[in-house]
A and B are shown apart, each in its own frame.
Chain A
Amino acid sequence: MAKITLDNLAHSYKPNPATEDDYALKELNHDWVDGEAYALLGSSGCGKSTLLNIISGLLTPSQGRILFDGKDVTRAPTAERNIAQVFQFPVVYDTMTVHDNLAFPLRNRGRDEAYVAERVNEIAKMIGMEHMLKRKARGLGADEKQKISLGRGMVRKDVNALLFDEPLTVIDPHMKWELRTQLKRLHHEFGHTMIYVTHDQTEALTFADKVVVMYDGRVVQIGTPEELFERPEHTFVGYFIGSPGMNVIPARVEGATAHVGGAEIALGQGYGALSGKVEIGIRPEFARLSQSEGLPVKVRRVEDVGRHKIIRADMFGQEINIIAGEDDRISPDMNRVSFDASQVNVYADDWRVQGAAA
């Protein structure tokens, strides 16, 4: 277990990166605190796997350093870093039994057989495969194979960090839940530093203490699930997290008021002069549809998703989403929307602006 420090780290797959666009991973400084569970969240191609592979040593960054507990390991090979990694698709040694698969990392490090057997049994119990230990890995289903991969990642107690690269993609939905819960329990029990790459927000938010949201090769926000929900630092975070995502509406902001299409929206805080592209962001959860209060909207359709209703509406030609309670009655004459002033965020050029108390 170790603190992992990224110092000025950046990576480009091109040999001579010139502009910032050439970098798959843009300059980054960050400390991964020892013993925390992180999720790296972002859409495909945002650089999250690149970052993971740099940490595990499968990739050498084109710039910057990476330190484990203050020791520079930037050029150290994977084996020396003492990390474990689980990949997106199951990697098992087909010709070995389940037992030998789980024992492989320990045997390669010369641990004695008694210890190996003990650890393998422990892990097998954890992944629910103790009755299959004697079977060949070949011929097992994809989710069983992936459980073996997970088990092989966890079998060593002394790893510096456990890295997961979208490990649950091939697993059945009900198994996903179970495995994620087990990973969490494991984290509480042993306190490994864990980094979990995913593009699934539910996975990220339920697994991690801290979520690192990446967008276009850049880390846009690091925060607890709550922070990401209430104060998205970047419009991408607002849009990517939440279902549906945050409403982002172009606006003109003056003091504690936002002007949208001639109407006014009250803001919880006051803002100075803003330059660039100014937008306000409101989560659908903090918008309310009514007959009398707020701005005029035209309701397009109402979707009932079970727990609540999602109202898709037009406001000054801009599509916005509103969430209403499952039991709320939506009537045709409800054509006004109001917002919770304290939950309206202001963005200039996609980045959140911190206001001053009005």
Chain B
Amino acid sequence: MNKTVNQKAWFLVLPVLILVAFSAVIPLMTVVNYSVQDTFGNNQFFWAGLEWFEEMLHDDRMWNALKRQLLFSGIILAIEIPLGIFVALNMPKSGFWSSFCLVLMSLPLLIPWNVVGTIWQIFGRVDIGLLGYVLDKLGIDYNYTQDTLDAWITIIVMDVWHWTSLVALLAFAGLKSIPDAYYQAAKIDQASRWKVFRYIELPKMMGVLMIAILLRFMDSFMIYTEPFVVTGGGPGNATTLLSIDLVKMALGQFDLGPAAAFSLMYFLVILLISWVFYTVMVNLDKKGM
């Protein structure tokens, strides 16, 4: 078969190329540009090479933020994934209440992040917030602005409140795709509830759960708005996660070079962890868990 050569076809691809260039490539390259130079304002640039990268790699500040970040993502995944599955398993499968639950569950997902942060910021306040006030009256010493543990608990509960629905909805979609015959066969085989979950429901949900884990990992690893609104990274640096630290460095201190190097490494870490996740899970899937 002869292929027709038609150079005009390039014009059809051009709009996409321009769009991608302006939305992703050029901004990213700007960051690369900053990361290898030093600037003192007045648009004066000096070549710095890999200096900023080296400096950041030896800086405890970034490592600590990374540790906090990994801890945060790990905890919310460990809570949201099982909880989401549990919720999905207990949702009505069809009829009015099923739709009702779906709408109810979607609600937190529709609230802008900033608003979620504000809601919890107020909710947890000891003077006027319902949660903070009640805890205080119950005699529990709770103050997210001063106590590290309280601050962590608050942002974790907030994230669980905000995002468990997503996991539940995905898991529910996976459950809905299981034909009735599987449950009937399990009844006939006298399988226990646990075995139905372990050998029918979980394997059938694996595909969507993989997506859920990846999405939740990436999102939580990049989280900024909600903890920033609630704790502002405090008390001290206790809840200063990677993006909060990055913004402090870039816009607070205007250290553009180190911040650019930081961003690129941040980006690579997300890419790397997501890739590892994906590869491991695809392999698990192939082996049939």
Asked whether A91 lies within 8 Å of B190 as measured between CB atoms, the reply is no
Pairwise interchain contact B181-A104, C-beta atoms closer than 8 A: no
Q: How far is the CA of A339 from the CA of B179 in the complex (A)?
A: 51
Contact indicator per residue, chain B 76-104, by CB within 8 Å of chain A (1) or not (0)? 00000000000000000000000000000
Of the stretches B10-18, B195-203, B270-278, the one at the interface is B195-203
A68-85 CB contact bits vs B (8 Å, 1 = yes)?
Answer: 000000000111000111
With A79-B187, A83-B188, A104-B191 as known contacts, state yes or no: A91 contacts B182, CB within 8 Å.
yes
- The stretch among A93-101, A177-185, A253-261 that forms the contact with chain B is A93-101
A108 within 8 A of B: yes
Quick one: given A87-B181, A87-B184, A88-B181, are A94 and B189 in contact (CB under 8 Å)?
no
A57 cross-chain contacts in B, Cβ below 8 A: 187
A149 to B184, CA, bound (A): 13
Asked if B185 lies at the interface with its beta carbon under 8 angstroms from chain A, I say yes
Contacts of B195 in A (CB 8 A): 108
Distance in angstroms between the alpha carbons of A149 and B189 in the assembled complex? 11
Q: Which residues of chain A have C-beta atoms less than 8 A from B199's C-beta?
A: 93, 95-96, 104
Contacting residues, chain B, for A93 (C-beta < 8 A): 199-200, 203
Instruction: Mark A residues whose CB is within 8 Å of B.
Output: 56-58, 77-79, 83-85, 87-89, 91, 93-96, 104-105, 108-109, 136, 138, 149, 152
What is the predominant secondary structure among interface residues of chain B facing chain A? helix
Q: Quick one: which of A58, A95, A105, A136 contacts B189, CB cutoff 8 A?
A: A105
B9 within 8 A of A: no
Q: Which B residue sits closest to A93, measured CB to CB? A: B199
Interface size of B as a range: 10 to 19
**Residue B192 CB within 8 A of the other chain:** yes
By beta carbon, the residue of chain A nearest B206 is: A95
Chain B, residue nearest A105 (CB): B189
In the complex, 8 of the A-B residue pairs with CB atoms within 8 angstroms, ordered by the A residue number, are: A79-B188, A89-B181, A91-B181, A93-B203, A95-B288, A96-B199, A108-B195, A149-B185
Q: Take A89-B179, A108-B191 as given contacts and tell me if A138 and B288 are in contact as well, using a CB distance cutoff of 8 Å.
A: yes
A77 touches B187 (CB 8 A): yes
A84 touches B188 (CB 8 A): yes
Across the interface, do B179 and A85 meet the contact criterion of CB distance under 8 Å?
A: no
Residues of A near B289 (CB, < 8 A) are: 95
Q: How far is the CB of A148 from chain B (nearest CB, A)?
A: 11
Return chain B residues, CB-CB under 8 Å to A138.
288
Are the CB atoms of B192 and A108 closer together than 8 Å? yes
| CB interface residues, B 129-184, toward A, < 8 Å | 179, 181-182, 184
